[in-house]
Structure 1
Amino acid sequence: MTTKCFGPLFKQCVLTSGVSINFMTHGMVMGFSSVLLPQLRATTDVDESTATWIASIFGVSLILGTLSVPLIMSTYGRKPANIVSATLMTVGWLIISASERASTLLLARFLQGFSMGFLADMGNIFIGECCSPKNRGAFLTTISVSLMLGTFLVHSLGTVISSWQTIALISACISFLDLIIIVLSPESPSFYAMKGKYDECRKAFRWLRGQFEEDELEKLIKINMTKESNITSESDENFINKLQKKFVYLKTTLKKKEVYKPIVIMLHLYVLGQWCIAVTFDTYAKDILDIILGTDINFGIVIVSLDLQRLVSNFLAILAIKMIRRKLVLVVTMSTNVICYFSIALYVYLKTHDILSYDHPFIGLVLLHIHLFTTAVGAVPLINIIAGEIYPLQHRGLCGMIGILFFSINETINMKSARYLFASIGLHGAYTIYGLLVAYSVIVVWILLPETKDRVLLDIEEEFRGSPLIVESKLIGEDNENVRD
C-alpha cells in the first residue's frame, strides 16, 4: 500500500490505536467500579469487605502481570504480549456480563488486572519502538487520553443503562475489536532485530516508517548484531552461572546514577499519579460526590460533566506539553492539586460540622472540576511521557518493571483503603493525607527531575550519569550480555 492515505503515518496510527484502545478498556475497568458497586449494594447483600476487594483486586493481579510481561516481551515479542492482554480483557468482560455472584466478579476483575499488568510496561515500549520520533510524543500522549476516554465512556453508559452486565457486554465488544486491530498490526522492528531476524526487521520497519528513516534502521540492526555476538559467546553457560550473572547485573546496575536517579523520580511520579485523586475518584465517584455535593444531586449529569471536562483537558494537555516545559506544567498543576485537596478537606469539614454560614453544591462542584483538571493536564499525561524519556536505554526494561510494580502496590493500597479512610477519619481526613503525599512527591520531583522537553535521550542520560557516554562502541558493548528489554 503505497498510496498516501495508507502511508507510514496512517500505519503508525493503526498500530497505536491497538495499544490505545487496550488502554481505554483499562480506563473502563477503573471507572466500572463506580457503576458496579452502587448497583451491587442496591440489589445484593454484598458486604463492605467484598465490595472493596471487587474494586481493588485488579491491583493485585496487575503486579503478577507486570512480573510476567518482561519474559514474554523478550521471548515472544511485543505483539503477543499485547494480544494476551486484549484477550484476557475480553474474557474478563464476558465473565462479568454473565455474572451474578461476587466470586465470579472477583475472578473477572483478577483477569482484567493481569491484562493491565501486561500492558502497563509494554504499551509505552511498543509505541516508542514503532513510531517515528517526530510523532512519538503525540502518540504516547494518546495513552492518557484513552484512559480518560474509557472512564468517560463507562460512566456515560452507567447513566443510561441500569445493568452492569449489559455495560460489561458492550465493553467486551470494544475489547474484541481492539484484539482484531492488534492481530492485524506488525511486530516491533526492535524485537526482530534483537532476535537476529534482520530481514523481518527491515520489512516491519519500512512498513511502519516508509523509506525515509533508513539511518535509524541500519543503526538498530548494527547495535543488535553487536549484542548477538556477545550473547552467542555465552550461550553454553549453565543455569547457575547465568543466575549469578543476573544478580551481579542487578546489583551493579542499581548503583549507577543514570539508573537509580530516574527510578527514584518515577517512584515519586507514580505516587503523584496514584494519589492525585484521579484513580480514587474513578473507583469511588459516588461515595465522594455524595459527601461533597450531597445525595440529592443528579449523579449521572455530574459525573458525565466531570469526565467530559477531563477528556477535553487531556486533549489540551497535548498542546500544553508541546509548548511548555515539562517541569513547569507538572509543578503548577500538582501544586494546584494540593491546594484543591486542602480546600475540599476544609470545605467538607466545615460542611459536616454545620459551621458554614452559606453553602451550595456549586461550590463543591467548582472545586471538583479544578481538582480533576489538574490531574488531566498534569499527572496523568506527564507520567507516561517522562517514563519514556528518563530511563537509560540499556536498562529500560528493568527500570520500567520496578516503576510499574511500585505503582501496582500503590494502586492496591489506594483501592483497598479508600472507603475505610472515608469511614474512619472522614473524607476531609483522607484528603489531607492525600494532599500531603502529593506535596511531598512534587517537592522531590522538582529537585531531582531535569528538564526533558525537546532533548535527545542520550543527553538526558548523560546528565543523570554526570559524565559523557564516551564513544558509541563502549555504550553498545557495556553489559550487553545482560541487557533487559
Structure 2
Amino acid sequence: MSPFFRQMVAVSGVVLYMIGTGANIAYPGVLLQQLRLPDSAMHLTPEHESWIASILGLALISGILVAPFSLQKLGRKLTNQLSTLPAMGGWALLVAAKGPAALLASRSLQGFAMGLQAAAAPVTIAEYSSPKYRGAFLATIAFSFASGMLVAHIFGTLLYWRTAAVACGSFYVVSLILISIPPETPPYLASKGKNNECRKSFRWFRGDDEDSEKELEVLLNSQKKKLTPKVAQFTFYRQMVTKPEFYKPTVIMMFMFVLFQISGMTVVPSYTVPMMEDVSGGTIEAYTSMLMVDVVRFITAVIACVVVNKLRRRTVLFLGIVISVVSLLTAALLLYLRDLGYIPEGYKWTPVVPTLFYIFGKTLGILPIPWAIAGEIFPLAYRSIGSGISGMFLSIMFFVVVKTAPTSFRQIGINGTFCVYGICIAICGIFLYFLLPETKGKTLYEIECHFRGEKEKDVCERDMMLELQKVEEG
C-alpha cells in the first residue's frame, strides 16, 4: 500500500465516528418530529424536547475533561477505540428507550463519547497525516459532520425512529474495526521516548523515502530535548500557561469554537424542520426543506475538502464568515419585510434562498477550518491539554446555544435569531482576523515555532537545519 492509502485507511476510522457525531447532533430533528405525532408511543413536553436536543452539550463536558488525560496516558489509538463504546451503548439504549429518562441517558452516553472524539479527532488526523495531505484529511471532519446529518435525516425520514437509531449506531461498529488497523501515531510515540516504535509507525504512514526519513529524524531529535526529568505538576502547569506556544493557540481555539457554535452549526440540524417551516412560510413541505438543507451542506462539505487543501486556511475561513454574515442578515431582512406584508404571497419562499447561502457559507469555512486548525495549532507537549481546554468552550457553547434556541425562536423569532447569529459571527471573525496565523503547508514543528515568536522561530529553524545536516552526513 502507498503511504497515502495507509493514511487514508487510518483517517477513515476517525471519519466514520465523526459521521456518527453528525448523526448524534441531527437525530433529534427527526426523533422529536416523529414523537409529536398523535399515535406516538411516547409523548414529550417542550421542556423534554429542548433537553433531549441540548443535553449532548453538557455530556460533552465530561468527555472533554477525560480526553486530555486519556490522550496523554493511553495514547491516541486506544482513546479512539474506547470512545466508540459509550457511543454504541448510547444508540443501543435509545433503541430500547421507553420514556424520556432513557432518551436523556442515551443522549448523555453519546455526548460523553463525542467529548472524547472532539478532542481526539483533529489531533489524531493531524498526527497521521503528512503536511501535503493534512489539510484535506482534516477537512474530512467537516465532510463527516455533514454526511452524518444527512444520513440521520434520511434514515429518520424513511424509517421508524428506533430502526433509524440502529442504522446510525452501526457507523461506530465499523469505525472501531478501522481504528484498530493502524499503529499508534508517531508523534505520540516520540513524546514517550519510544523511538523504535516511532520509526516503525512513521514508516508505516509515510514510507521510507529520503524526505520522510529527514522529517522522522527531526521529530525524534526535537522530542529528545523535551524528555527532561519530571517536575511537580503544579510547576509544570504554571510554566505551561506562561508559554506563548500554549496560551496563544488556546485563545485562538476558544474563539474558533465559539464561532463554530454561535454560527448555528448544531442548532440548525436539531431544529431544521420548524426553522425551515418558518423561513419558507409554509410554502415548502417540512421534510423536503430539511433534505434541501442537508444536500446543500453535504455538497459544500465535499467542496470544502478540496478548497481547504488548495487555499490558505485564513482565506477559506473569512470567505465563509463573510458569506454567512451577509446571508443571515439578508434572510432576516426578508423575513421582517414578509412579516410586514411587503413581500407578495407568491414570493413568501424568498428567505429560503439566503438561508441556503448561509448553510453554504458556514459549511465551507466555519465548519472545516476550526477542526483543521485544532489539529495543527497546539505543540506536541501541550496538544492533549490544549485540545481539552478549547473543547470545553465547544461543549459549553453547544449546550447554551441549543438549549436557548427554542426560547430565542419564540421570543424574537427566526429573523431576530438570525440577526443575533450574524452579529456574533462578525465579532468572532474580527478577533480571529488579528489572532489567527496561516498554517497551510507548514509542519507541526514549524507552527509550534511560530507561536514562540520571531527570535525563537529562528532558533527552531536553525535547529531543524542542523538536524537535517546530521541526517545527511550519515
Same-fold call, TM > 0.5?
Answer: yes
1:92·1:108 contact (CA, 8 Å) conserved in 2? yes
State the secondary structure of the residue aligned to 2:184.
coil
Secondary structure of 1:278's match? coil
| Residues 22 and 178, structure 1, Cα contact 8 Å, conserved in 2 | yes
Distance in 2 separating the partners of 1:324 and 1:13: 21
Q: Give matches, 1:365-404, under 5 Å.
A: 365-404=352-391
Name the SS of the counterpart of 1:196 in structure 2.
coil
Corresponding residue of 2:467: none
Q: Does 1:471 align with 2:459?
A: yes
Name the SS of the counterpart of 2:57 in structure 1: helix
Change (3 A) 1:309 1:9: same
Spell out the pairing of 1:109-188 with structure 2 (5 A cutoff): 109-161=107-159, 163-188=160-185
Q: Which residue among 60, 71, 74 is the counterpart of 2:72?
A: 74
Deviation readout 1:307-327 (Å, 9 max, x if unpaired)? 122211122123333343332
- Structure 1, unaligned runs of 5 or more: 1-5, 235-240, 477-485
The amino acid of 1:285's aligned partner reads T
Matched, 1:438 2:437: no
Percent same amino acid at aligned positions?
A: 33
Indicate whether 1:447 and 2:447 are aligned: no
Cα gap change, 1:330 to 1:350, in 2 (>3 Å): same
Tell me if structure 2 keeps the 8 A contact 1:36–1:164: yes
**How far off is 1:119 after superposition?**
1.0
User: Which residue in the other structure is 1:32 paired with?
Assistant: 27
Going from structure 1 to structure 2, the CA distance change for 1:446 and 1:35 (only over 3 Å counts) comes to same
Q: 1:453 to 1:7 in 2, by over 3 A?
A: closer
Say which SS state the counterpart of residue 45 (structure 1) adopts: coil
| Aligned-pair CA distance for 1:166 | 0.5
Alpha-carbon contact 1:390-1:460 (below 8 Å) kept: yes
1:200 aligns with 2:197: yes
Greater shift in the superposed pair: 262-271 or 407-416: 262-271
| CA 356–430 in structure 1, closer or farther in 2 if over 3 Å, else same | same
- Once the two structures are TM-superposed, the CA of residue 37 in structure 1 deviates from its matched residue by 1.2
Write the distance in 2 (CA, Å) between the matches of 1:454 and 1:226.
Answer: 25
Q: CA deviation at 1:344?
A: 1.7
TM-score normalized with structure 1 length: 0.88
Secondary structure at the aligned position of 2:454 is classed as: coil
Residue of structure 2 equivalent to 1:45: 43
- CA 1:473 to 1:368, structure 2 compared with 1: closer, same or farther past 3 Å? closer
CA contact (8 A) 2:139 2:308 kept: no
Match of 1:223 in 2: 222
| More displaced 10-residue stretch of structure 1: 209-218 or 142-151 | 209-218
Q: Is the 8 A contact 2:273 2:289 kept in 1?
A: no
Distance in 2, matches of 1:196 and 1:247, equals 21
Task: Return the offset for 1:73.
Answer: 1.4
- Structure 2 partner of 1:242: 232
Aligned runs of 1:243-258 on 2, under 5 Å? 243-249=233-239, 253-258=240-245
How many Å apart are 1:183 and its aligned residue? 2.2
Is this contact kept in 2: 1:267–1:403, CA < 8 A? Answer: yes
SS at structure 2 position matched to 1:452: coil
CA distance in 1: counterparts of 2:80 and 2:376, whole angstroms: 22
> For residues 298-447 of structure 1, what are the structure 2 equivalents within 5 Å?
298-447=285-434
Letter matched to residue 316 of structure 2:
V
Query: Which among 271, 274, 279 is matched to residue 284 of structure 1?
Result: 271
Query: TM-score w.r.t. structure 2 length?
Result: 0.90
Q: Contact conserved, 2:122 with 2:371, CA < 8 A, in 1?
A: yes
The answer on 1:263 being equivalent to 2:263 is no
Map 1:11-30 onto structure 2 (within 5 A).
11-30=6-25
Asked if 1:8 corresponds to 2:12, the answer is: no
Distance 2:265 2:348 in 1: 21
Per-residue Cα deviation, 1:252-309 (whole angstroms, up to 9, x for no partner): x333444333332222222221122232111110110111113453222222222122
Q: Deviations over 1:418-462 (max 9, x none)?
A: 001111221122222111111111111112223333344555555
Q: Secondary structure at the match of 2:36?
A: helix
Measure the CA separation in 1 of the matches of 2:449 and 2:220. 23
User: Once structures 1 and 2 are overlaid, which stretch shifts more, 368-377 or 290-299?
Assistant: 290-299
The worse-fitting range, judged by mean Cα deviation, of 357-366 and 280-289 is 357-366
- Equivalent position of 2:188 in the other structure: 191
Check whether the contact 2:76–2:185 (CA below 8 A) recurs between aligned residues.
yes
Aligned pair in 2 of structure 1 residues 179, 423: CA closer, same or farther (>3 Å)? same
Return the letter of the residue paired with 2:100: A
How many pairs does the alignment contain? 458
Distance 1:243 1:463, change over 3 A: closer
Contact 2:131 2:443 in 1 (8 A): no
**Structure 2 Cα separation of the partners of residues 385 and 247 of structure 1:** 26
* Structure 2 CA distance for aligned equivalents of residues 207 and 68 of structure 1: 29
CA contact (8 A) 1:342 1:435 kept: yes
Deviation of 1:358 (Å): 4.7
Alpha-carbon separation, structure 2, partners of 1:153 and 1:95: 20
What's the offset of the Cα at 1:464? 4.0
Aligned-partner Cα distance in 2 for 1:129–1:150: 24
Alpha-carbon shift at residue 343 of structure 1 (Å)? 1.7
Q: CA deviation at 1:14?
A: 1.0
Secondary structure of 1:129's match? helix
The 1:226–1:466 alpha-carbon spacing in structure 2 relative to 1, beyond 3 Å, is closer
Deviation at 1:142, TM superposition (A): 0.9
Distance 1:191 1:453, change over 3 A: closer
**Paired residue secondary structure (1:391):** coil
Over 3 Å counting, the alpha-carbon distance change for 1:247 and 1:391 in structure 2 is closer
Q: Which residue identity does 1:26 align to in structure 2?
A: T
Q: Is the 8 A contact 2:123 2:376 kept in 1?
A: no
